[in-house]
Structure 1
Amino acid sequence: MRAQFFVTGALFATWGVHVPSVKSHYGLSEQSLAVAMLAGGAGAVVALLYAGRVLARHAPRSVVPVTGLVCVAAVGSLLLPSQYGWLLALMAVYGMAAAIFDVAINDEATAIERHAGRPLMSGFHGMFSLGGMAGAGAWSMLAPAGVSPIVHLVAASAALGALAWAATPFMLRDVRAAGEGSAPLSLPRGPLALLGLLAALGLVAEGAMYDWSVLYLRQELGSSAGIASLGYASFSGAMAAGRFGGDWVRARVRSVTLLRWSGALGAVGMALALAVPHPAAALVGFALVGLGFSNIVPVLFSAAGRLPGIAPAHGIAAVSSVGYFGLMAGPPLIGFIAQARSLAVGLLVVIVFAVVVSAFARKALGTPDAPV
């Protein structure tokens, strides 16, 4: 299961570090690039309307390899066409497949955590971040060696697709995390709605790092391709470290306290990256964002699985679907702001959303008597 989180993280990073390549290949403005990202978000929204229905009939073990294959095929093909319409289509297909893939692996991770009876979600998401660090780090080494973006996209996607298929037999055979009912996945209401909203705001920061951190270093600060790709790697490395230690922290620190300080640290990190126009400051700032946001999603997903009167699998699926929309819709929002003003102004959204997450921590999680 951890391998699947690694694959989706590495695939996000592989797309993220090549945002400048896509922009150059198709000759796009920030607005046109944002529209392409929005196509991915639109595809995700369409898929999420059917994610619950799909996972009610098919276990994650059968859903993951199919959607994973579509994901790697779409990302690997991003630089093969030359028409903008093909880019929009590929992004839409990628968004649809990645959304169902993401909900499926989070559903199974929740089931594994529930059966184990101890915090595990942060560790699973740590593998996602580790994959992101590996995906970005690979390009930072290959770019100076003269490897073309097309070769990297195709080779990396093929390798990640092979890993996803090889790991599938080790997934749970009978657990259907979203299969406790036949109803399709619907928009959450009540407590689930607030948890989902905060997850979406938290994932906007991750989406911003995937899609804009490399371009910010490259375009706004004039960094080389190798240095620019380290922006994503520093974010993912710090996030992985925070998540691998997150289960230990969650067992000792109240979830409200952890969520508050996580949002605050993320806001401080992004403020540093934007206030000091130097690549070194940006790398440190992005790392602080990664560390700050590392446990926001695991805390919120676990809380969704413990709400009274709601099946754990349905709670986690509902919150993850709304959160995933933030992951896909956040980067286009930043892109539209960047077109109107600048990328630095667009990334201020991350600070605002981090503050909102911190401010609404108690309302979303209540006042637990013990760490979770």
Structure 2
Amino acid sequence: MFFLNGLLFATWVSRIPLIQKRLDLTHSQLGLSLLAIALGAVITMPLSGWLVDRISSRRVLLIFAIPFCLAPPFLAIAPNIYWLSFVLFLFGAGHGALDVAMNTQAFEVEKHQQRPLMSSFHAMFSTGGLAGAGSGAAIAAIGWSPFQHFSAASAAMIVLFATNYPHFVHTQHHQSVKVESAPKKGFALPPGSLLILGLMAIAVLITEGAMADWSAVYLLRNLGSSEAVAAAGYAAFSLTMALGRFSGDTLIARFGNESVVRTSGILATIGLGLTVATPYPILTLAGLAVVGAGLAIVVPVIFSAAAKTPGVETGRALATVTTMGYFGFLIGPPLIGFIADLTNLRFSLGLLILTSLIATVLARQVRR
């Protein structure tokens, strides 16, 4: 499921510049449309966490796979910014709910195996992102339209989801409750430690979201690269992220969460500096690759730490942190667009250096 989620999301990302050009959207208009993804995800993530603790993560995956799988072809034929934003809202709603449910599935497997596995699961998301971005670059080069591209990707997603659904974990609701005292009625603010993990997730995923939505635009419009090279930017980012995540569980077991997260934050900062400092597309691709390696392990560590928060149901804990984190992932790109229209895209992407440093500063919070 991680692979399929990354595949379909990257498929959309790889053709953003062409859709922006077809609808003649400014950076701010594109940013406003991307905000619809954030709105859809932020609405469904808490709902997904609530449903996970009551009807199981497996059933939640089935429910929300429908809008996520069916939306992409309609993105390609949206006649104006309004329809584009509406379909992006549905796409984001499915994406956000699936994220909470599949991370709950991953935590259950990690708990059963009694060893770090979250990074490997997230590696599959990055591998899907690599496959989506890489195929996007190839398909753009041979001249397929976004509608043909997205229709094929959606069809493949539906077939693969149906094939793999029987193998998803059968979790029993309420089995993940870790509350030692009687549950309280009504709304309760999440523990401070969980909110700090959420802040870390926001900071890291702002950068990840910006790389997804703006790396291709930056390469194409600011550096004058071809559409194929522009699509390859996110592929380079996804490749090193996947490699980093596949090795992440081993690194965590050897060096511990705190050391790995602190080093990762420094590496991502260096990569961002290279990405925005050079006028050469080949060096920008290298910078994006370094950013991918730096961000690779941080989010899996944060999610795993959140799921172990004492006194909070697993679904609720993951919903809190994923909602906060993916709010950053999805709200970051629109903000980048607004700032780019006020200044320029190079400057707005350069601001991400500050967000990447937050992971280094708060690394101690992931010790558990």
Tell me the TM-score normalised to structure 1 length: 0.93
Contact preservation (8 Å) 1:76, 1:154: yes
* Residue 325 of structure 1: aligned partner: 327
Matched, 1:77 2:79: no
Q: What percentage of residue pairs aligned between the two structures are identical?
A: 39
Q: Give the Cα–Cα distance (whole angstroms) in 1 for the partners of residues 116 and 176 of structure 2.
A: 22
* 1:101/1:137 CA distance change after superposition, 3 Å: same
How much has 1:16 moved relative to structure 2? 0.9
Q: Partners in 2 of 1:295 and 1:269 — Cα distance?
A: 15
CA contact (8 A) 1:53 1:182 kept: no
Where does structure 1 lack aligned partners over 5 or more consecutive residues? none
Q: Could you say which residue in structure 2 is the equivalent of 1:287?
A: 289
Q: How far apart are the structure 2 equivalents of 1:184 and 1:134?
A: 44
2:251 maps to amino acid: V
Q: Measured at CA, do residues 175 and 292 of structure 1 come closer, stay the same or move farther in structure 2, by a change above 3 Å?
A: farther
Q: 45-54 vs 279-288, which deviates more?
A: 45-54
Contact 2:176/2:313, CA 8 A, preserved across alignment: no
Q: Aligned in 2, Cα 1:226/1:57: closer, same or farther, shift over 3 Å?
A: same
Provide the residue aligned with 1:265 in structure 2: 267
3-state SS, counterpart of residue 76 of structure 2: coil
2:49–2:101 CA contact under 8 A, matched in 1: no
State which of 126, 134, 139 in structure 2 corresponds to 1:142.
Answer: 139
Moved more, 213-222 or 139-148: 139-148
The residue identity in structure 1 corresponding to 2:323 is S
Aligned equivalents of 2:187 and 2:55: distance in 1?
A: 14
Tell me, what secondary structure is at the counterpart of 2:351?
helix
Shift of 1:43: 1.4
Cα drift, residue 346 of structure 1: 1.3
Secondary structure of 2:142's counterpart equals: coil
Question: Which range moved further: 206-215 or 76-85?
Answer: 76-85
The yes-or-no answer on 1:12 pairing with 2:6 is no
8 Å CA contact 1:304, 1:315 repeated in 2: yes
Cα shift at 1:56: 2.6
The structure-2 alpha-carbon separation of the partners of 1:160 and 1:9, relative to structure 1 and needing over 3 Å to count, comes to same
Amino acid at match of 2:272: M
Which sections of structure 2, spanning at least 5 residues, go unmatched?
178-182
Separation in 1, partners of 2:173, 2:154: 27
Distance 1:178 1:13 in 2: 34
Residue 162 (str. 1) matches residue 134 (str. 2):
no
One-letter amino acid matched to 2:246? F
The RMSD of aligned alpha carbons is 2.0
Contact 1:49/1:184 (8 A) holds in 2: no
Alignment map for 1:1-372 (pairs within 5 Å):
4-176=1-173, 180=177, 188-362=190-364, 364-365=365-366, 368=367
1:134 CA drift (Å): 0.3
The answer to whether the 8 Å contact 2:35/2:334 transfers is yes
Report the CA distance between 1:178 and its aligned residue.
8.5
Q: Tell me the distance in 1 between the aligned counterparts of 2:96 and 2:294.
A: 24
Report the alpha carbon displacement of residue 217 of structure 1 after superposing the two structures with TM: 0.6
Distance 1:307 1:78 in 2: 38
TM-score, normalised to structure 2, is: 0.94
The total of aligned residue pairs comes to 363
Q: Distance in 1 between matches of 2:175 and 2:319?
A: 7
Q: How far did residue 94 of structure 1 move?
A: 1.2
Distance (Å, rounded) in 2 between the aligned partners of 1:200 and 1:186: 21
Please state how far the C-alpha of 1:330 moved relative to its aligned partner: 1.0
The AA in structure 2 aligned to 1:117 is Q
| Structure 1 residues 293-324: Cα deviation after superposition (integer angstroms, max 9, x where no partner) | 00001111111122333344432332122112
Deviations 1:144-182 (A, max 9, x none): 212122211111122122212221110012344897489
Is the CA contact (8 Å cut-off) linking 1:130 and 1:237 kept in structure 2? yes
Asked if 2 retains the 8 angstrom alpha-carbon contact of 1:136 and 1:229, the reply is: yes
Determine if contact 1:186/1:318 at 8 Å carries over to the other structure. Answer: no
Q: Please list the CA deviations of residues 239-264 of structure 1 after superposition, one character each: whole Å capped at 9, or x if unmatched.
A: 00000000000100121111111111
